[in-house]
Amino acid sequence: MAAARFSYRAVLADGSVGTGLVEANDVAAATASLRRSGARPIAVVPAPAATAGDKIKPGAKSRAAVIALIGELAVLLNAGLPLDRSLGLAIANVDDKAIAAQFGEMLAEVREGAPLSQAMARRPALFSPAAAAMTEAGEANGALGGALTRLAAMLEGAEDLRRLLVTSSIYPIALLIISVGVILLMLLFVVPQFESLFAQARGELPFASRFVMAASRFVRDWGWFLLGGLVALVLLLRQALAQPATKRQLDRLVLAIPRVGTLVRYVDTARFARTLGVLIEGNVSLPAALAMARRTVSNAEIGEALDTVAAGVREGGGLAGPLAQAGALPRIALGFLRTGEETSQLGPMLARLADVLDRDVKIMLQRLIGVATPIITIVLGATVAGIIASIMSAIIGFNDLAIAQ
């Protein structure tokens, strides 16, 4: 049975009343899920039918539109404009028609009396649960402009980190693709030109020459089968990664890889710390903030450890101690967390931690690219040189054999 979406209103762990969406098979399952998260449901009803906003796929365009809208809305609210007027002015600057239509529906709901946070929660394709929770906290304490300012800064920081990761990976990936292409070009088109020349003396050719000839023949005869097998392997891997157990095993393996595992741990910790810090500064309770910040963690191994810690926090435990025992976060994070708890400045310390980790991620990426780029270049050069050398040695050996005869 496919999961359905249910809209809820519940008393959260900190005693505040919140709204949102939850996916479950039926109302009873949705209610049970909310209770497991520490909330006390007041009302759980089926969510409205899917709208055009549900068809909007999260991507760079939608993220940029949301960041711009929230940033402009925060500025206008802090300038003293009413919410509906501010939202209307911010929507007027959105270029994408589909996204602008969704924002327009939000404006209509706000003018009908719905809270902005509720309108955001109804559009999970555009707004994350953390964004809706921060907005709701700002509405509750009468400081919506300040809450949206912090939310915009959080989203911009997350987007900057995402762009950094994507941009940093373009060059080594492009170089790797070019390397594979050059090697295939040599094996498919250059080496076969010499096969007829060496056909009569194949048994007397150097081993390197015979190996290159065999590799060329293998790629030409079985290349399409290899390509089909590679595509099938990718599809099977995607299906396997859809299984939580398989994904967790792979994520655990990634964390064990030197340098790469450290980079993944720092990236996830930076996202988690920035989101958690902003939520706490927005007066969201720690248990609820932990549950929402955990969703920004992509590594299943780290996420499961954070789930265990979040369960302990809901029961009244601390944060730094359980995280240290779980071993999910880097050691540098634990020091910031302990200091934040001891000084009652957990939110600002988490924000500072995210900044430090972002800086370290940039340094790690620069080092990885600095190491990977020459390695790929050397492997490409050595492979091409080896193919050329094997052909030249065969030609020289063939000429020597002809002269000797």
Q: Is residue 45 part of a domain?
A: yes
Query: Would you say residue 127 lies in a domain?
Result: no
Residues 6 or more apart whose Cβ sits within 8 Å of residue 291: 37, 38, 310
Q: At what angle do helices 244-256 and 207-241 cross, to 10 degrees?
A: 130
- Select from 14, 30, 49 the last residue of a domain: 49
Give the per-residue pLDDT at 52. Answer: 43
What's the token pair of residue 190? 């250059």
State which H helix or E strand residue 46 sits in: strand 40-46
305 pLDDT more than 60: yes
* Residues 290, 375: Cα–Cα separation, whole Å: 41
- CA dihedral of 17, 21, 26, 30, whole degrees rounded to 10: -40
pLDDT of 312-341, one tens digit each?
777 666 777 888 887 878 888 888 888 888
Domain count, the chain: 2
Report whether pLDDT(204) > 80.
Answer: no
Among 49, 67, 83, where does a domain finish?
49
* Token pair for 163: 């762009």
**Assigned domain for 298 exists:** yes
Domain that holds residue 391: 167-405
- Confidence check: pLDDT of 400 > 60: no
Measured torsion, CA atoms of residues 147, 151, 152, 155, in degrees rounded to the nearest 10: 180
**55-94 confidence digits (pLDDT tens):** 566 677 888 889 999 999 999 999 988 888 998 898 888 8
Q: Which helix (H) or strand (E) holds 24?
A: strand 17-24
Q: Is the pLDDT of residue 122 over 70?
A: yes
Mean pLDDT of 131-151: 82
Query: Is residue 352 situated within a structural domain?
Result: yes
Residue 189 lies in a domain: yes
Answer yes or no: are the C-beta atoms of 340 and 349 closer than 8 Å: yes
Cβ within 8 Å of residue 286, ≥6 positions away? 280, 313, 319, 346
Q: Is residue 80 part of a domain?
A: no
Q: Tell me the average pLDDT across 399-404.
A: 52
Q: Which residue has the tokens 């170089």?
A: 175
Question: What long-range pairs does 323-330 form, CB within 8 A, spacing at least 24?
Answer: 328/301, 328/302, 329/265, 329/269, 329/272, 329/302, 330/262, 330/265, 330/266, 330/269, 330/357
Residue where a domain terminates, one of 12, 33, 49: 49
Is residue 108 situated within a structural domain?
Answer: no
Angstrom distance (rounded) from CA 329 to CA 353: 12
Which amino acid is located at 313 in the chain?
A: V
What pLDDT band is residue 48 in, cutting at 50, 70 and 90? low
Does 208 fall in a domain? Answer: yes
